[in-house]
Amino acid sequence: MPEGLARRLGTVDAVVVGLSAMIGAGVFAAFAPAAAAAGPWLLLALALAAVVAYCNATSSARLAALYPESGGTYVYGRRRLSPLWGYMAGWGFTVGKTASCAAMALTFGAYVAPELARPLAVGAVAALTVLNLYGVQRSAGVARVIVAFVLAVLASVIVVGLAADDSVVFGWFAYAPFVEDVTPASDRPFIGAASVTPAYDVWGVLQAAGLLFFAFAGYARIATLGEEVRDPARTIPRAVGIALAITLVVYTLVAVAALRTLQPELLARSTAPLADLVTQAGAGWLAPVVRVGAAVASLGALLALLLGVSRTVLAMARERDLPAALAVVHQERQAPRRAELAVGAAAIVLLLVADLRGAIGFSSFGVLVYYAIANASALTLSRDEGAPPRAVPVIGLGLCALLAVTLPLSSVVAGLAVFAAGLLLWLARHRRRPA
């Protein structure tokens, strides 16, 4: 029997881990490119992303309560569909979210000191990997502090944006027309902002929803920590629902404030939209605090990502879909230290050798495929097993597939190539196994 992990996390801890991933990954990063695609329909795109997230969260929570093990959809796909489908879910999550680790680390570096973004990113990954080596409970405690600070910053942004006098908000647009952003792509922040006029059509709304879904995907971290949660049958569904509801409220209020203060065009072109929001609203003194909040939020997202990916690596190693040496759990700390070190090292390698400007789109593609498999797994549940209403996984599966194909073409092509490579590795590995 594989060594188990300690069940130390309660509902509050699980909610905090999910919030640190969702709010850190999205609210400071995804709104500008989403506004470039959806324009004034940004709130519609956000609502669509929330529907997909709700379906995925409901399916995942029911499955996690039935299978409270590390690994998330990797486990569910293996148990409900086939080992291959489970592997493909785990492969997409591991590769895509390792790239997201690098993305969040670079986002942190860009907000703190753009000229030192890469070395700061490497230092952040190394430091948080060491923190995780001392156990998930300590990591959850740090996440709680990060979430409290980021929520306080966002509350200030929302109040400033919604309370700004209309003459201050709209006067700037009357006397200072938008100037086309000609900043070279290589000089933009990690996420990047649009330099062209957005196309406000159905395709743009779908593409924006796919990008915004990336911001909601943090609840996966709750499911991947299923083996370390107390009373998982109750805690996981409750934590997922609470974290998703809080995130939706925060995102909606921020989006309303941003659209009111910046309007879609400037929001789409902004490289630091929330800092620009408070400046435009006449509270420029708050901009440095917002930048600190963005950096801290990026660290929170990175912490949760490293936790979640390492647990999926642990689960895959237990099934020999990854090297068995990664399945070892440290007896004293009861943490998968080898898996954590491997994930941290992989993220650092990506930071050193790769241009990751397309990582957000690729990660969205991988996560949407991951949740499509989760919804397909939930469709096999019986009522006695806690099956959700059938419409939930059906809608979730369909929307995941739709949003995946509407992402930028480069992200779709890269995603398909990586999944094809994973499939070839799986076939080669299993062909060598004795019957």
Q: Which of 39-48, 245-254, 306-315, 378-387 has the lowest average pLDDT?
A: 306-315
Tens digits of residue pLDDT in 257-295: 988 888 888 888 876 788 888 888 888 899 899 888 888
435 occurs within a structural domain: no
Tens digits of residue pLDDT in 14-58: 787 777 767 765 677 778 888 888 888 999 999 999 999 889 988
Average pLDDT, rounded, for the chain: 79
pLDDT-derived band at 68 (thresholds 50, 70, 90) equals confident
Residues 6+ apart with CB under 8 A from 433: none
89 occurs within a structural domain: yes
pLDDT reported for residue 433: 56
pLDDT reported for residue 299: 82
260 occurs within a structural domain: yes
Residues 6+ apart with CB under 8 A from 394: 375, 379
More confident residue, 429 or 335: 429
Tens digits of residue pLDDT in 209-245: 988 887 787 766 676 565 666 777 677 778 888 888 8
pLDDT reported for residue 45: 93
Domain count, the chain: 1
Q: Is residue 341 predicted with pLDDT exceeding 50?
A: yes
66 occurs within a structural domain: yes
Q: Is residue 392 predicted with pLDDT exceeding 90?
A: yes
Q: Residue 9 forms beta bridges with which residues?
A: 229
Residues 6+ apart with CB under 8 A from 349: none
Q: Is residue 4 predicted with pLDDT exceeding 70?
A: no
102 occurs within a structural domain: yes
Q: Is residue 173 predicted with pLDDT exceeding 50?
A: no
188 occurs within a structural domain: yes
Closest CA to 326 of 347, 302, 343: 343
Q: Is residue 10 predicted with pLDDT exceeding 90?
A: no
pLDDT-derived band at 415 (thresholds 50, 70, 90) equals confident
pTM (global) more than 0.85: no
pLDDT reported for residue 100: 82
2 occurs within a structural domain: no
Query: For residues 430 and 291, what is the distance between their CA atoms, to the nearest angstrom?
Result: 48
Rg of the chain taking only CA atoms, in angstroms: 21
Closest CA to 29 of 224, 251, 180: 251
pLDDT reported for residue 185: 35
pLDDT reported for residue 46: 92
On whether the CB atoms of residues 102 and 94 are closer than 8 A, the answer is no
On whether the CB atoms of residues 27 and 254 are closer than 8 A, the answer is yes
275 occurs within a structural domain: yes
Tokens of 418: 């990586």
On whether the CB atoms of residues 192 and 357 are closer than 8 A, the answer is yes
Return the SS3 of 96: helix
On whether the CB atoms of residues 58 and 222 are closer than 8 A, the answer is no
Q: Is residue 192 predicted with pLDDT exceeding 60?
A: no
pLDDT-derived band at 1 (thresholds 50, 70, 90) equals very low
User: Could you tell me the CATH number of the domain that includes residue 173?
Assistant: 1.20.1740.10
Tens digits of residue pLDDT in 91-121: 888 888 888 888 788 878 877 877 888 899 9
Residue 154: domain span: 11-430
Q: Is residue 338 predicted with pLDDT exceeding 50?
A: yes
Query: For residues 416 and 422, what is the distance between their CA atoms, to the nearest angstrom?
Result: 10
pLDDT reported for residue 419: 92
Q: Is residue 316 predicted with pLDDT exceeding 60?
A: yes
Residues 6+ apart with CB under 8 A from 78: 85, 86, 87, 319
